[in-house]
């Protein structure tokens, strides 16, 4: 099979079978690119995970770009990204259209009244999962508490807080 088509299909599959976003996608990427297709080695994948968590944007896009490039250069990374984005794009577009049309429907309303509290729980779960490995000493706990107070009570811009925390990390842990 053409390598570009293959990359596109493999990443479409990864995109279509990952739920919840973020790190939840990593085991799937590993299964496809390390085990099934042997595109990169296991230790290179571990580095990719670390890089993805330390670079901007969605983990799936980070992973697709890197693996696509390693397998087939620039166009490989474009095709890998299209594979991740296109199926999700189409499904979400259809769902959004349907939701706009039916959101006043009584049954849709009752179903959503159950889903909304669960959604709050899902974001809280994301916070819990991000916290693994984030607290390395009392200083990181202090950073977390200060950022929370500044963001929640004083409404400071999250981007500003992220940059300041990065600078504090550089000064404290270098």
Partner 1 sequence: MNILVDLFVTFLKIGTFTVGGGPSMIPLIERDAVYNKKWISKEEFVDMIALAQSIPGPIAVDASVFIGYRVAGIAGSIAAVFGSVFSAFVVLLLVAMYFVGINKNRNVEAVFKGIRPAVVALLAVPVLRMAKSAKINKKTVIIPIVTVILVAFFNVNAVYVIITSALGGLAYGLLLKRRT
Angle at 127 between CA 124 and CA 129, to 5 degrees: 110
Tokens read off for 96: 């959004």
The piece of 1-9, 29-37, 57-65 that touches partner 1 (CB under 8 A) is 57-65
* Interface with partner 1, residue 174, by CB under 8 A: yes
* 111 near partner 1, judged by CB under 8 A: yes
Q: Looking at 2-10, 30-38, 56-64, which segment touches partner 1 (CB under 8 A)?
A: 56-64
Q: Give the number of C-alpha atoms closer than 13 A to the C-alpha of residue 155, restricted to the C-beta side.
A: 0
Task: Name which position in 4, 31, 37, 85 contacts partner 1 (CB under 8 A).
Answer: 85
Using CA atoms in the order 6, 11, 12, 13, what is the torsion angle rounded to 10 degrees? 90
Q: What is the dihedral of CA 16, 22, 26, 32, to 10 degrees?
A: 20
Task: Considering only the stretches 1-9, 31-39, 155-163, report the one whose residues sit in contact with partner 1 under the rule CB under 8 A.
Answer: 155-163
72 alpha carbon, distance to own chain's centre? 23
CB 67 within 8 A of CB 34: no
Q: Which stretch binds partner 1 (CB under 8 A): 2-10, 31-39, 163-171?
A: 163-171
Q: Is 102 in the site for partner 1 (CB under 8 A)?
A: no
Q: Which of 5, 9, 35, 51 binds partner 1 (CB under 8 A)?
A: 51
83 binds partner 1 (CB under 8 A): no
20 binds partner 1 (CB under 8 A): yes
147 near partner 1, rule: CB under 8 A: yes
Is 113 a binding residue for partner 1 by CB under 8 A? The answer is yes
Contact between 95 and partner 1 by CB under 8 A: the answer reads yes
Q: Determine the angle formed by the axes of helices 59-102 and 3-16, rounding to 10 degrees.
A: 60
Torsion angles phi and psi, residue 65, rounded to 5: -65, -45
């Amino acid at each position: 099979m053409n390598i570009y088509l293959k990359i596109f299909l493999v990443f479409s599959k990864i995109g279509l079978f990952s739920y919840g976003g973020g790190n939840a996608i990593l085991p799937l990427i590993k299964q496809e690119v390390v085990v099934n297709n042997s595109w990169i080695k296991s230790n290179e994948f571990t580095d990719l995970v670390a890089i993805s968590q330390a670079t901007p944007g969605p983990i799936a896009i980070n992973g697709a770009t890197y693996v696509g490039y390693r397998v087939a250069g620039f166009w490989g990374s474009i095709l890998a990204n299209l594979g991740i984005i296109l199926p999700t794009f189409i499904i979400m577009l259809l769902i959004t259209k349907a939701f706009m049309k039916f959101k006043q429907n009584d049954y849709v309303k009752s179903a959503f009244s159950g889903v909304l509290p669960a959604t709050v729980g899902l974001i809280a779960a994301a916070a819990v999962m991000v916290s693994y490995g984030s607290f390395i000493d009392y200083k990181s706990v202090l950073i977390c508490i200060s950022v929370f107070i500044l963001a929640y009570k004083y409404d400071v811009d999250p981007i500003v807080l992220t940059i300041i925390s990065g600078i504090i990390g550089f000064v404290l842990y270098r």
